[in-house]
Amino acid sequence: MARPKIALIGAGQIGGTLAHLAALKELGDVVLFDIAEGTPEGKALDIAESGPAEGFDAALKGTQDYADIAGADVCIVTAGVPRKPGMSRDDLLGINLKVMKAVGEGIKANAPDAFVICITNPLDAMVWALQKFSGMPAEKVCGMAGVLDSARFRHFLSLEFGVSMKDVSAFVLGGHGDTMVPCVRYSTVAGVPLPDLIEMGWTTQDKIDSIVQRTRDGGAEIVGLLKTGSAFYAPATSAIEMAEAYLKDQKRVLPCAAYCDGDLGVKQMYVGVPTVIGAGGIERIMNIKLNKDEQKMFDTSVKAVKGLVDACKEIDSSLA
Ligand code: APR
């Protein structure tokens, strides 16, 4: 049986890391697409040359031609520009919206049955625009943010408790921005919720509050350190987790930017919610109950995303 085909639209920092991970995990053959001549070809060849030592057989190809992504099973989109120190994700809106138009049309024409995972920021607005531009079914187009934000939250919690990251589970919901909602009540160490761990004296409310804030600022912390771009290892790993869930029909419960049509009270918008990812794409959204405080934070986040979506509609009237 032919190997699955994974198309990576954008062969920059995240795109290259995605290609490397997909090959290492033998998820399928990889096509790297980028407008920058030589970059996707160079990265594809470099990674292919690591095959003998790693022992993988995946084929890798770099291209500037959308025809090469024909029939892809998964498309992961990182095309666009990342932020620099002092920029918010929202500052990227105008430039990356134009990129989403070209990418959406390219995918629709060549890989209309693919499961599409968008990573380009500002994430929730870009995935919304990508779905509109491509006209593909909403359950087959989603955005990667929640897995990454939750991974950051889990990492910081594991440091606080001195326990394995494997035993920390956590949910971050809402938009992928300053207003994201790390759900303290739904985050656990081996099933024990954080509020219980505070009561048990394992940590304090103040420490949890500062971890929540560090999670919200997680992307900016990396941008501040790197100075020339934004995070790429953890974002790539997070998207690969989602792609694998789809390709292997794992029914993984993963938070991601999914199209909500009444889910968690959100109307016709993409926002971070807990989902089930399997062979059908986003197969289900978990309509979890939020308490009053969580609902307030979630509403604020949804409002921020709506502001960006409205800005997209103003820039490109075909989206209105
Ligand atoms: N089509 C295809 N590729 C494009 C296009 C386009 N229209 N426009 C830009 N690109 C390519 C660039 O040539 C570059 O190689 O997208 C790539 C982006 O790579 P990087 O600049 O290295 O950015 P990266 O760190 O990978 O982040 C990509 O993900 O997390 C988000 O905010 C981040 O929006 C950014 C995206």
CA distance 244 to 190: 24
Q: Which atom of ligand 1 is nearest to the CA of 119?
A: 29
Binding-site residue ranges for NAD(+)? 10-15, 34, 96, 119-121
Q: Which atom of ligand 1 is nearest to the CA of 14?
A: 26
User: Which whole number is the average pLDDT over 236-248?
Assistant: 98
pLDDT > 90: what percent of the chain? Answer: 94
Query: How far apart are the CA of 298 and the centre of ligand 1, in A?
Result: 28
Q: List, for residues 18-34, the tens digit of each pLDDT value.
A: 999 999 999 999 999 99
Q: Which domains does the chain have, with CATH numbers?
A: 5-144 (3.40.50.720), 146-314 (3.90.110.10)
Whether the CB of 62 sits within 6 Å of ligand 1: no
Whether the CB of 34 sits within 6 Å of ligand 1: yes
Contacts of 222 (CB under 8 A, 6+ apart): 230, 231
Residue 241, pLDDT above cutoff 90:
yes
181-189 and 192-193 strand pairing: antiparallel
Q: Which atom of ligand 1 is nearest to the CA of 79?
A: 16
| pTM over the 0.95 mark | yes
Query: How far apart are the CA of 75 and the centre of ligand 1, in A?
Result: 14
Residue 91, pLDDT above cutoff 90:
no
Query: How far apart are the CA of 27 and the centre of ligand 1, in A?
Result: 22
Q: Which two tokens stand for residue 283?
A: 């197969």
Residue 243, pLDDT above cutoff 90:
yes
| 3-class secondary structure, 164 | coil
CA within 13 Å, CB half, 202: 18
Whether the CB of 36 sits within 6 Å of ligand 1: yes
CA distance 15 to 32: 7
CA angle 135, 139, 140 (to 5 degrees): 65
CA distance 111 to 68: 10
Whether the CB of 99 sits within 6 Å of ligand 1: yes
Lowest pLDDT segment from 43-57, 77-91, 212-226, 273-287: 77-91
Edge-to-edge strand order for the sheet containing 29-33? Answer: 60-63, 29-33, 5-9, 74-77, 115-118, 141-143, 252-261, 267-278, 281-285
CA distance 21 to 18: 5
30, β-bridge pairs: 6, 60
Cα 300 to chain centroid distance, Å, stands at 20
Whether the CB of 11 sits within 6 Å of ligand 1: yes
| 3-class secondary structure, 304 | helix
Q: Residue 145 — φ and ψ, nearest 5°?
A: -155, -50
Sign of the C-alpha dihedral computed for residues 298, 216, 116 and 110 taken in this order: positive
